[in-house]
Structure 1
């Protein structure tokens, strides 16, 4: 499928997601969910586990730090490479941090963190992936990303988590 076809489907999906009378109420809720994906929570969770979880807190913290160190430059390179503009002519409820939308950094980081948490703490699997999905979907409902942006971001986050597990021998 050509990129223009993907863009048309993305726009139609985004338009469908944002074409309802409850946008302001949904946006209020989505802002809160999206804020949990800003990065501060990741560091806090890692620090708490480092300090209070003697079994694998230190390994979790180190693995997360390594994952994010590997992921961030690639993410920034992809943003500059794709230069995909954010949705236009649709409601937008927040000011995005940069001009480009592909891949979604919030989605990538949330899924990277969710994968790390699920790997080290399997009982959290459902909770962390529901949370990561909420962060990703909130970005579409806030009008700053297309659906394909969050799918690519999610794949990138999961991929970098597994790359880190492989590189560190955590498999």
Structure 2
């Protein structure tokens, strides 16, 4: 069963990764991935805290709790699971970027993007569609850049969603 899942994951990875060769996809993937580097989340939280006094402070505090859950869990899972990145494991794959760490599961970019999108959706439901679209594009960009399998992104998304739900709950108590 696990071998079949790995086979399907690798096939889907190559199907997505091979789209990277189109010039506009390469440029968009790099910039989209950069959105998920972390600084944008902090700046957005601080901006909402400063400009939106109704929900901004609550959003910032709940988000800080969310990320204090998500980041350590993502780091622990990467070190426990130690899944090689596709660019280090598959022949013929040259990544378009240099990954920040050695292992791929779960995707930290996807985890952070979905944690932020989930937290934003709780406090600003009208922004949900845009937030989750951007989070999905950040995850997709990581595959296109050659550094993650699709299941890495899925696991990161689940970790981010779960962290945001727990972070929000902890903020309320």
Superposition TM-score tier, normalisation by shorter sequence: over 0.9
Q: How does 1:1-171 map to 2 (within 5 A)?
A: 1-2=1-2, 4-20=3-19, 22-87=21-86, 88-89=90-91, 90-169=93-172
Cα distance in 2 between the residues matched to 1:116 and 1:18: 29
Quote the Cα distance in structure 1 between the aligned partners of 2:42 and 2:77.
24
The answer as to whether partners of 2:19 and 2:25 remain within 8 angstroms in 1 is no
Distance 1:164 1:35, change over 3 A: same
TM-score by length of 2: 0.93
Instruction: Output the aligned Cα RMSD.
Output: 1.4
Structure with the larger helix share: 2
Q: Distance in 1 between matches of 2:94 and 2:148?
A: 11
- Report which stretch shifted further, 24-33 or 109-118: 24-33
After superposition, the C-alpha distances for 1:23-52 in whole angstroms (9 at most, x for unaligned) are 443122100001000000000000101111
Contact kept, 8 Å, 1:18 with 1:91, in 2: the verdict is: no
Counting matched residue pairs gives 169
Moved over 6 A (4+): none
Q: Structure 1-normalised TM-score? A: 0.94
Kept in 1, the 8 Å contact 2:62–2:167? The answer is: yes
Q: CA deviation at 1:92?
A: 1.4
**Cα distance in structure 2, aligned partners of 1:68 and 1:128:** 16
